[in-house]
Amino acid sequence: MRSIIVGLLVIFLINPEGNAQLPFSISDMWTVIKWCDGLVNKGVSYKSAVDTITDNKNQEELEKILNEVEKISLQLESFANKIDQKLDGILNTLLNNLRDNIILQFTKTQLNDLFNTIDRLHNKAMTLRFRGQFGETILRNFVKSILWDSNNVPETLERINQLILPSTNYVVPPFIQLILKDAQDNLQYDCNQYMSAQQRMYYIYTHIILSEMQGLTTLNYAYSIQQMIDRSYNYSIELENAKDLFRNRVTNYYKYLSKTMMYFPREIHRCDPNPEKRDIDFFQLYKFSQAAIFNERNLTSGLKSHSWNRGYCDKTCPELNSSTFGSDIQTLGKTIYNCQYLGGPVKFCPAPADSYRDYNWWKTSQSTFGLNKKCDKELDMSGYREENPLLGVHVDLYDCDTCVCSVDMNTIENRSTDETAIASISITPQISDILNNMIVTGVKFIVDNRAVHIQIQENKFLPGGIASNNSSWKDITHRYITSNKIKQDEGIKYAAFDHKWKTLLLDDIMLPNDYVITGLRFVRKNRTSSFMLKVHGTLLNFSSGFLDSKSSKWFSFKDSDKKSAINNRKSIKLTAPDDPTRCLIYDYDKGTHKSIKFQHTDIHKDAGQNTIPFFDAQSVEAQPPFPLNGIGLFHRHKNGFGGYIAPRIFTTEVSKNIKTKLMKESRKSKNSPIPQTQPSNQHIQVKLI
């Protein structure tokens, strides 16, 4: 039984309210049980008969008992109050989208009423700490309300047990099963909660165990007082029975905890960014991949010599690319490809200087590219005709076409001279302060000095959990500012997107059990010319609360999903993608092991002026802070739009940690008394030794 209690306390130690943690170490949980035994023994060992409660000696002994109970009760109450503040909201969130809401709402109401009954009776016991000289009638009424009235403590605890656990052997009850189905089916809409479904389920179980502890403490209070009121009956039998019931219920709760928790989603993600909050909720790469309109003569090698060349304008737009362009300033340091014929003349509307666009739109006599809005300064791009200047006559005359081409900024010189370009990504590791026991509890994309970074939120893990008021976003390391610095640090501290390097791998990276995230970084994957995320993990001893800095290492998607790493990665194709801000609702992609290429938007819908996908800049964090065991990147998608790249986090798998600690602690306590419990079904493996 000791191992069961220890396993449960592991959950308490990962408590979501670090400032309201239980002041018990792991071994102290068993001390609570032994303290109950000692309390009973004191009640039965009084040598003098008690005629009235006012006897000075027995009053003194009673005060000692009540003071002991009061101390434990106050510790439980401090923690329980924090849980109570969140429980109702958690249950409402879990039940909000269920179709069968009437039944579950009734069950939720019943649970709340029962929890409140335990709180009320426990608080009633706590009012005695303000006692002066009190009479026997008051004490008898108190004992009666705890032990024998309707809604007494033993009956209330049993009714909670019946609502949570089924009468058959270890089958997930409908109440939990429906909540589980909802959590899995409605994962897309379960955003902006800052708590994973597993965290919320953990809160419910935590509250149940706390109610059991409060109930047992209150029973100790009542039985000890009753023992002094009436020495004719040995109430230690009832108290021992109450303790046995407590142990059995806790054992069964633990089995359900380890059975159900692993099926509840552990991920946390944000809802779609607000399209009106550019640079707050989202940002984009700028001056990396766009569409541009050119006259053919600017894309032909003959321009450089400024001499007549028979092939000067004799090509079609699709034949033109970076290998044919000349030395025009428009084309230097860029990869030009996918050129298409527009014809001529072409009218276009230049975008304002502070815009992310070069053009608002352009149009030919037949089509408009982009949104045809009113333009303050409409310009023309005329066609061009080339003739042989030596003959002075219109022979060998060629029409120069107007083309629209895809353009990727390619050279480091372009980035260093263009102070507005955002076309680089940091490959510098961002690691928490491991030596000071700091772990990662949140992430977000940011733009800092013209580069994309993934920033980490760090928090200190304490022996009793994580302090909720200790979160901080770690400053970005190795920033670059000057043009020379950009050139110097290329490939070392940051990497530039270009025509070759523009693929991002989208993976969920899960760490081994007992590891928590302590850092992140992007790396360049040479074989596939792509960028991928790597996660820094460190072993955390959940019992002591300390990180093992020597165990730290980097993990990639291959470490968390070797099977998928062997299979072909799915490439996300963006078909005729529009500006992402023009779509208000995106689909949530639960898949992993994918890739996406950055490209410009569709030339017909948006004149190809935005580099997509955008980056979702909203912070993703567990609140209250919670250790993380995984992180992933996914694409918010909708057909016909560019979408957003967004992070998601995965909280620590509580059930696995409980099992590990259970077996370890069980080996240490083979001689501990373990009460017999009901046999479980074969599919639930809980080792009690």
Alpha helices in 148-173 (DSSP H): 153-164
Same domain, 300 and 197: no
Closest by CA to 361, choosing from 88, 110, 179, 608, is 608
> What is the rounded distance in angstroms from the CA atom of residue 24 to the CA atom of residue 19?
14
Model confidence pLDDT, tens digit, residues 427-469:
999 999 999 999 999 999 999 888 999 999 999 998 767 776 7
Is there a domain that residue 470 lies in?
yes
The rounded distance, in Å, linking the Cα atoms of 683 and 688 is 15
Instruction: Output the six-digit token pair for 518.
Output: 């302590």
What would the pLDDT profile of 57-70 be if each residue is shown by its tens digit?
Answer: 656 666 666 676 66
72 within domain boundaries: yes
Q: At which of 373, 397, 417 does a domain end?
A: 417
C-alpha–C-alpha distance, residues 526 and 524, integer Å: 6
Res. 51 pLDDT band, cuts 50 70 90: very low
Whether 672 maps to a domain, the answer reads no
299 or 663, higher pLDDT: 299
Q: What is the pLDDT of residues 630-656, one digit of tens each?
A: 999 999 999 999 999 999 999 998 776
For residue 128, give both structure tokens: 């005695």
Let me know: does 459 contact 470? Beta carbons within 8 Å.
yes
pLDDT band at 662 (very low <50, low <70, confident <90, very high): very low
pTM of the model: 0.78
Return the number of other C-beta atoms located less than 10 Å from residue 420's C-beta.
Answer: 10
C-alpha separations of 26 from 164, 202, 203, 278 in Å:
26, 18, 19, 48
pLDDT over threshold 90, residue 336:
no
Is 663 a member of any domain? Answer: no
Is residue 4 domain-resident?
Answer: no
Distance of CA 258 to the CA centre of its chain: 21
Cite the DSSP H helix spans in 462-574.
Answer: 483-489, 557-560, 562-566
Q: What is the pLDDT of residue 329?
A: 46
Same-domain status, 393 and 512: no
Domain with 217 in it = 54-266
238 and 139 in a single domain? The answer is yes
> Quick one: 486 and 558 in the same domain?
yes
**pLDDT tens per residue across span 527-575:** 668 999 999 999 998 778 899 999 999 999 987 666 655 567 899 999 9
| Total number of domains in the chain | 3
Q: What is the pLDDT of residue 284?
A: 96
- Tokens 């428009």 — which residue? 330
Are residues 402 and 511 both part of a single domain?
Answer: no
- Please give the pLDDT value at position 562: 60
Helix/strand/coil (H/E/C) assignment for every residue in 81-129 = HHHHHHHHHHHHHHHCCCCCHHHHHHHHHHHHHHHHHHHHHHHHHHHHH
How far is it, in rounded angstroms, from Cα 633 to Cα 629?
14
Is 382's pLDDT higher than 90? Answer: no
Residue 46 three-state SS: coil
Share of the chain above pLDDT 70, in %: 62
Q: Which of 157-161, 270-274, 631-635 has the lowest mean pLDDT?
A: 157-161
Is there a single domain that holds both residue 464 and residue 413? no
- Is-contact 362 290, C-beta < 8 A? no
pLDDT band at 317 (very low <50, low <70, confident <90, very high): confident
Res 217 pLDDT > 50: yes
Q: Which of 294, 122, 284 is nearest to 217 (CA)?
A: 122
Does 20 fall in a domain? no
Whether residue 136 is found in the same domain as residue 255: yes
pLDDT of residue 118: 87
- Which amino acid is residue 148, in one-letter code? W
Only one residue has tokens 């009734």, namely: 106
d(CA 504, CA 580): 18
**Is the pLDDT at 186 greater than 80, yes or no?**
no
Dist CA 335 CA 358 (whole Å): 17
Quick one: pLDDT at residue 104?
Answer: 63
Q: What are 237's two structure tokens?
A: 């039998």
Same structural domain, 477 and 399: no
Secondary-structure percent of the chain, ordered helix, strand, coil, rounded to 5 = 40, 25, 35
Domain-terminating residue out of 351, 384, 417: 417
Residue 668 lies in a domain: no
Q: Are residues 431 and 486 in the same domain?
A: yes
Which residue, among 195, 208, 210, has the nearest Cα to 79 in the 3D structure?
Answer: 210
Looking at the structure, do residues 457 and 411 belong to the same domain, yes or no?
A: no
In whole angstroms, give the CA distance from residue 255 to residue 171. Answer: 11
Tens-digit pLDDT profile for residues 584-627: 999 988 889 999 999 999 999 999 999 999 999 999 998 888 89
Ranges of beta strands (E only) in 303-437 are 334-341, 346-350, 359-363, 368-370, 379-381, 384-388, 393-400, 402-409, 424-426, 430-431
pLDDT the model gives residue 31:
45
The number of beta carbons lying within 10 Å of the beta carbon of residue 244 is 13
Mark whether 319 and 295 lie in a shared domain.
yes
Residue 128 inside a domain? The answer is: yes
State the CB neighbour count (10 A cutoff) for residue 230.
12
Angle 181-185-188 from CA coordinates, rounded to 5°: 140
Whether the CB-CB separation of 542 and 11 falls below 8 Å is answered with no
Q: Which of 360, 387, 417 is the last residue of a domain?
A: 417
Residues 231 and 124 in one domain: yes
**pLDDT tens-digit series, residues 478-499:** 554 444 555 555 667 888 888 8
Tell me the pLDDT of the chain averaged across its residues: 74
Structural tokens at position 684: 């639930």
614 vs 114, higher pLDDT: 614
